[in-house]
Structure 1
Amino acid sequence: MACHQKISLLLLIFSSPVVLLESCDSRCLAKKLIDKKEMSAPQNAQCSVTVNVTLVQYETLTFDTKEMQMSSRVLVKMRWTDPELAWDDTISSAASVMLPVHKIWTPGLVLDNVIDVTTKTYTDDVAVKNDGTVNYAVVLFIAVSCDISLFTYPFVTGDCGVAINGWNQSDCDLSFVYLNNATMFGSSQCGEWNTESVAIQSDQQAPSRNYLSVTLSINPFCAVVTLILPSVLIMVADLVSFSLPIQGGERNNLKVTLVLSFTMFLLILNDRLSSGGRCAPLLHYHFCFCLVNLVLSMVMSLVLTHLMTADGLLTYRCSKRIERQNTHLDQDEDAGVIVTTKTTELEMASIQKTVNVLENINQTNQRANSNEVFVDFLDKLCFLFFLFVDIIYVITVCVIVTKTEMCKSQNPKIWITLVS
């Protein structure tokens, strides 16, 4: 009987771990891990932490061309091992457990070159495996300033960097190891900008520093239709306006209208493009050239019209002077007729007066015709001058856009150096 009791007692003692194991479920295990309050980083002897980045998904939200700022959304999934969060089968048979994200340590991302950043956890819980492996995801809403040259706008392609790293100070550091390259999700177009590609690259001088290199390009169709094409058509209309006659004022009215219309495009350009940076967009210089060309053309047309009008005014004054002389001559002749009462002399004086008037009118017409020929010659000369200037300008712009290496984008300095 005593032997039977001892055997029962031994069975009870050996069966207690099994009862304990079955009684500690996943929620019980989560409570035990939370009670440990492991809020510090899992550090090795070298005071360093390595976090594996398993996934980086990127999406461009907006791009402000005037301020040269890019807003984007980045999803980062990470995995690391924390030995203090591991357990064996003697504690629980669960393969993994869910823990509140704010109850354990999670790595902080350092974004060196951002203007503004908002960090949100992908979920409020993280999955922890029995070997201490933690899977964690975070969503970053980032605003960053981009150094993309707009010199050849709207035919622009450039790279914008987003520095996403851990931290490194003194002997301790947090390093990220990217297991896969970045991918894009969502729409690749935001306004007139397109996201061509995104890749994870490392700095040549500091291989431990990584950043997202986002390649952007502009869809030139909108800018060509709304800015470049109207300016070209206005310049063509200015050249065609030289076919209108100088007399009448129709040409001057058209040229003034062209100048006012072009001023409207300058206001549109000022609202759309950034005027700062290392190199101002070539479109600014294009609009400046077109405006100066239109104003000079308008001034030349006004000058030619004034020359034509001034000649007519001079003829009118000469005619008035001749009429006054003839009036005095009539008075003298009338007095002579009254005195002499000779009808023959009066008739001869009238005939002579008529001949003088006709001769003066003929001379005035010849002078006006010769002046009109001269003004027409100047008008044709001005047309050829502006046509020549426009052709040289088009050739120069084509050479600058296709051949020149000026204002190329440089690798920006996106890192912050911490002095130990």
Structure 2
Amino acid sequence: MFVTFLEKSSKGSEMVLQHRITLLLLIFSCLIVLTDSCNNRCLANMMINKKMKSAPQGNTCSVNVSITSIKYETMSFDTKNMQMSSRIKVNMVWRDLELQWNTTISDAEAVMLPVDKIWTPELVLENVIDVTVKPYTHDVQVNRDGLVDYSAILFISVSCNDINLFNYPFVHGECSVAINGWNQSKCEVNFIHPPNVSIVGGIQGEWETLSVIIEQDQSFQNSSYLSVSLSISPFSAVVTLILPSVLIMLADLVTFSLPVQGGERNSLKVTLVLSFTMFLLILNDHLSSGGRCSPILHYHFCFCLVNLVFSMMVSICLTRLTLNDTILSWKCSKNNKKHKKTVSLGQDEDAGVIATKTFSDLPSEVASLQKVVTFLENIDQKAEVTSSNESFVDGLDKICFCFFLFIDIIYIIVVVIITRTDLCKEKRKELWVNEDFYDPPYTNGHIHYYDNYSFYDYFFKF
């Protein structure tokens, strides 16, 4: 009996000892786990293995993405085609609850993940001609609470036909860049824009970026766009286009001081017309001429070219009038024949005079002297006619000078009035169009079919 009691007590003490040893082993293993938690790389591999490529959707099927900052830079501006190329850096943050962890898994506050291993939002650019989107870095930062920090670089090309070039080069206008999220009838990626935009750089060629602000368009599902305010530095256009045209017109007026006789004035006017044609080609390569509000500089160059050509034609006609009484060539040819005939007769008379001096008597000498007097009187009469033609042409030349001077003064006044008033205003173009989808008729979460129409029939019948 006593021996049996001792055996039972020894067995009980052994079981208690085994339980204590097991408890100590469990405590020791837990301490090992706590002291040897997963490091950052191990945590990153765990996140990658989750394959979170879809958007973090809640019950409302929408994702809110906050844009923390936008940096805008105008790369170039094509004035002829009215296209603006820009570089935009966008920093975005959003919360993905599937990517969060607690301290039992890792003590890390944040981890770096490859950008192509998780979902990243895409910006929808409505009115761009060309766009290239690149991640700023190949890694994104994910915080412990699931907050994801991501940056993207956008290289875009936008048409800026809303800018009115009528008063070129004194132009100030705005070009819009529509930046929004994806939006459908039930699901959407909603972007929360920052209050302001930072500008990197300022002047690109003759164009200068003054400011960039974010504006909301409530008429199109709360769409947002960047309103880029631009202006042209007029110095280059004034020096290369406007100033040469004014100087050429001034030189054309100064050419009226040259004598009408001879070809010096006509050759100078032809040179001015050819020089102005060269500036017209430069303008055509630099500015667009289409649209209702074409730059007034095109009309200015057209007026100057017509004025120069007309002045050259008038100068040629005046030079013609100094030689003959008429401008028509066929009458001029008859006058030339008469002139040649009188010259030949004069030469014959001179020959007769010489002959009479040699072989004639006194009466014949008197007759020859009378012929010589008549010839000299004809020369004096012709000189008087030429002098009267020149005086008449000089009067016409002064009248033409006053006429062109008056036309130029009236033109300057008209141009100043036109540039001071907004005679041409372009209608602002819409950035968005109505979407090509329609909400199907829902009732209690179910689609109703009408007259044997399926959902796809209802969707595509429009």
Quote the Cα distance in structure 2 between the aligned partners of 1:177 and 1:129.
20
Alpha-carbon offset, residue 354 of structure 1: 2.4
Partner of 1:373: 391
Please point out which of 17, 20, 23 is paired with 1:10: 23
Q: Is the 8 A contact 1:334 1:346 kept in 2?
A: no
CA–CA distance in structure 2, aligned partners of residues 307 and 398 of structure 1: 38
1:104 alignment partner in structure 2: 118
Quote how far apart the aligned CAs of 1:370 are: 1.5
Picking from 159, 162, 178, the partner of 2:174 is 159
Any idea what SS the aligned residue of 1:67 has?
A: coil
Partner of 1:120: 134
Q: Which stretch shows the higher mean deviation, 264-273 or 233-242?
A: 264-273
1:412 — aligned with what? Answer: 429
Residues 85 and 132 in structure 1, CA contact (< 8 A), matched pair in contact too: yes
CA contact (8 A) 2:37 2:104 kept: no
Cα distance, 1:105 vs structure 2 = 0.7
Out of 355, 363, 381, the position equivalent to 2:373 is 355
Q: Would you say 1:397 and 2:400 are equivalent positions?
A: no
Q: Does residue 54 of structure 2 align to residue 40 of structure 1? A: yes
Deviation of 1:4 after TM superposition, in Å, equals 4.7
Change in Cα spacing, 1:403 to 1:15, as seen in structure 2 (3 Å) is farther
1:180 equivalent in alignment to 2:195: yes
Cα contact 1:311–1:368 (8 A) shared by 2: no
TM alignment of 1:16-415, pairs within 5 A? 16-21=29-34, 22-147=36-161, 148-185=163-200, 187-206=201-220, 208-311=222-325, 318=338, 320-322=340-342, 343-408=361-426, 410-415=427-432
2:241 partner amino acid: L
Q: 1:238-293, CA deviations, whole angstroms, 9 ceiling, x for partnerless residues? A: 00000000112110110011011111111111211122233221111111111111
Letter of the structure 2 residue corresponding to residue 44 of structure 1: G
User: What secondary structure does 1:103 align onto?
Assistant: coil
Using the alignment, how far apart are the partners of 1:68 and 1:323 within structure 2? 69
Q: TM-score with structure 1 length normalisation?
A: 0.91
Summarize the Cα distance change of 1:249–1:206 in structure 2 as closer, same or farther, 3 Å threshold: same
> What SS does the aligned partner of 2:125 have?
coil
How far apart, in 1, do the equivalents of 2:113 and 2:323 lie?
93
CA pair 360-107 structure 1, distance change in 2 beyond 3 A: same
Q: What one-letter code is carried by the residue in structure 2 that aligns with 1:385?
A: F
- For residues 357-397 of structure 1, give each alpha carbon's deviation from its aligned partner in whole angstroms, at most 9, with x where no partner exists: 23322222222221111111110111111111111111111
Q: Distance in 2 between matches of 1:87 and 1:331?
A: 129
| 8 Å Cα contact 2:220/2:432 also seen in 1 | no
Q: Could you tell me how far 1:209 is from its partner in structure 2?
A: 0.7
Q: Aligned equivalents of 2:43 and 2:143: distance in 1?
A: 12
Go from structure 1 to structure 2 and tell me whether the alpha carbon gap of 1:323 and 1:7 turns closer, same or farther (over 3 Å shift). closer
2:415 alignment partner, SS class: helix
* One-letter amino acid matched to 1:301: S
Q: Is the 8 A contact 2:110 2:144 kept in 1?
A: yes
Q: Distance in 2 between matches of 1:235 and 1:335?
A: 61
Farther-moved stretch of structure 1 (203-212 vs 241-250):
203-212
Structure 1 residues 269-278 or 188-197, which shifts more?
Answer: 269-278
- Secondary structure of the residue aligned to 2:176 is strand
Question: Conserved in 1, the CA contact under 8 Å of 2:356 and 2:368?
Answer: no
Distance verdict in 2 for CA 1:336–1:36, change over 3 Å: closer
Distance in 2 of aligned mates of 1:330 and 1:234: 52
User: Relative contact order: is structure 1 or structure 2 higher (C-alpha 8 Å, sep ≥ 6)?
Assistant: 1
- After the TM superposition, which of the residue ranges 355-364 and 70-79 deviates more from structure 2? 355-364
- CA shift for structure 1 position 316: 6.6
The Cα shift of 1:66 comes to 1.4
In structure 2, the CA distance between the partners of 1:211 and 1:331, relative to structure 1 (3 Å rule), is: closer
Q: Distance in 2 between matches of 1:44 and 1:141?
A: 32
Cα distance change on mapping 1:93 and 1:17 into 2, 3 Å? farther
Deviation at residue 32 of structure 1 after TM alignment? 1.6
Please say if residues 38 and 106 of structure 2, whose CA atoms lie closer than 8 Å, have aligned partners that are also in contact. yes
Quick check: 2:208–2:231 contact (8 Å CA) kept in 1?
Answer: yes
CA–CA separation in structure 1 for the residues paired with 2:244 and 2:355:
72
SS of 2:119's equivalent? Answer: coil
CA–CA distance in structure 2, aligned partners of residues 334 and 256 of structure 1: 49
Counterpart Cα distance in 2 of 1:36 and 1:342: 137
Change (3 A) 1:330 1:237: closer
Question: What SS does structure 1 have at the residue aligned with 2:149?
Answer: strand
Q: 1:6 to 1:202 in 2, by over 3 A?
A: same
1:407 Cα deviation (Å)?
Answer: 3.2
Letter in 1 for 2:405: L
* Runs of 5+ consecutive residues of structure 1 not aligned to the other structure: none
Following superposition, the deviation at residue 204 of structure 1 comes to: 4.0
After TM superposition, give the deviation of residue 87 of structure 1 in Å.
Answer: 1.4
Residues 55 and 76 in structure 1, CA contact (< 8 A), matched pair in contact too: yes
Cα distance change of structure 1 residues 264 and 330 upon mapping to structure 2, 3 Å threshold: closer
User: Aligned AA for 2:401?
Assistant: F
What is the count of residue pairs matched by the alignment?
Answer: 416
Q: CA deviation at 1:327?
A: 7.6
Shift of 1:333: 11
Name the TM-score, length of structure 2 as normaliser: 0.83
Name structure 2 gaps, 5 residues minimum. 1-12, 327-331, 438-462
Per-residue CA deviations over 1:35-82 (Å, capped at 9, x if unaligned) read: 111111111212111100001001111111112111111000001111
SS for the counterpart of 2:26 is: helix
Whether the 8 Å CA contact 2:215–2:225 is kept in 1: the answer is yes
Could you tell which deviates more after superposition, 306-315 or 91-100?
306-315
1:247–1:13 Cα change, 3 Å? same
